[in-house]
Amino acid sequence: MDKSGFIEDMQLRGLAPTTQRSYLHYTIDFSQFHNTSPEKLGLEAIRQYELHLLNEKKLSAQSRNTFVSAIQFLYTVTLKRDWGKDSFPRPRIPVTLPIVLSQKEVSQFLYQVAGLKHRAALMICYGAGLRICEAVSLKVSDIDSERMLIHVRQGKGGKDRYAMLSPRLLGMLRAYYRATRPGNGWLFPSWRTGRHMTTGALSQACRDASKACGLSKRITAHTLRHSFATHLLEQGTDTRVIQVLLGHSRIDTTARYTAVSAQLVAATPSPLDKLSPPAKKKRTPPTPQKAPRG
């Protein structure tokens, strides 16, 4: 198979770089598993590889679905096979609630983040609700201190948006900037010339801090984003405002945070508490019986 044609098709359809890398990884692994070019393989080969991902690699349903998306794109777009969606069954993804930290736990975690650069980037994930890829690719010019906004360029789905810039986060970023003087325009530059910090480097810093802080919860940069949204909801922020801040295309994606907020659940009155006791009926005294004559 000509990889260049596959890559060009993904680029022409505007797939994100991370999606392109993921699709390419799965298609190459699929080909190596069968030791054959995908052009010579069919639906049964796809089925066998899916069983391999499930039974041997023990991949999650979400990861297996990514393979299905990759292989469907390869065969229907690049190889132009006339196969419908029914040819690519997807495993059902279990509905689970995302992990959310309390505000005290967020403070405990951030205190353990090593390095000013990593701490500033993770504070953006929590303080503005940015995805990890959006945080590491910020430029100095994206911080608008006059309007107290962060310009997120080409976020998920290739969309620009504005995120909030809190006074405390601005103070942290100013302290970071004065201490490091980042160059090349990037707010969080890499040691490699002309590039920004990688998501892998920030994820590793997150894992290290997660272990150091002593919390039993698994903490990622996305956990901070989930916590940001949940805490806004608990403060009474409108769901549609949170949708804009997070960059969600659909409101139902944002609405799932209503299922996460334990504080809102606990504060919601039960209809049982609104039941009124039945009115007490007045007891009618028994009619006195006449004594029998004779």
Q: Residue for token digits 């907020």?
A: 261
- Which pLDDT belongs to residue 34? 95
Is residue 248 flagged as an active site residue? yes
pLDDT recorded at residue 207: 94
Active site residue 222: yes
pLDDT of 267 reads 63
Q: Is 257 a catalytic residue?
A: yes
Q: What pLDDT was estimated at residue 1? A: 65
Catalytic residue among 81, 139, 151, 156: 156
What interhelical angle do 167-180 and 116-127 show, nearest 10?
160
Q: What's the confidence (pLDDT) of residue 200?
A: 92
255-264 pLDDT tens trace:
777 666 666 6
DSSP three-state, residue 281: coil
pLDDT at 270: 58
Q: Report the candidate in 81, 54, 70 with the shortest Cα–Cα distance to residue 15.
A: 70
Q: Which of these is catalytic: 117, 161, 225, 226?
A: 225
125 is written with which tokens?
Answer: 């994930």
Q: Is 90 a catalytic residue?
A: no
Q: At residue 106, what is the residue type?
A: V
Residues of the chain with pLDDT under 70: 1-2, 157, 258-276, 279-294
Q: What is the pLDDT of residue 292?
A: 59
Q: Please tell me the distance from the alpha carbon of residue 29 to that of residue 163, in angstroms, as a whole number.
A: 38
Give strand pairing partners of 152: 161
Q: Of 64, 117, 119, 131, which residue is the catalytic one?
A: 131
Which domains does the chain show, CATH number per domain?
Answer: 3-87 (1.10.150.130), 103-267 (1.10.443.10)
Q: What span, in angstroms and rounded, lies between the C-alpha atoms of 155 and 246?
A: 10
Per the annotation, the verdict on 151 as an active-site residue is no
pLDDT for position 77: 94
pLDDT computed for residue 289 by the predictor: 64
Q: Is 156 a catalytic residue?
A: yes
Task: Check 81, 153, 222, 256 and give the catalytic one.
Answer: 222
Crossing angle between the packed helical segments 116-127 and 103-111, to the nearest 10 degrees: 160
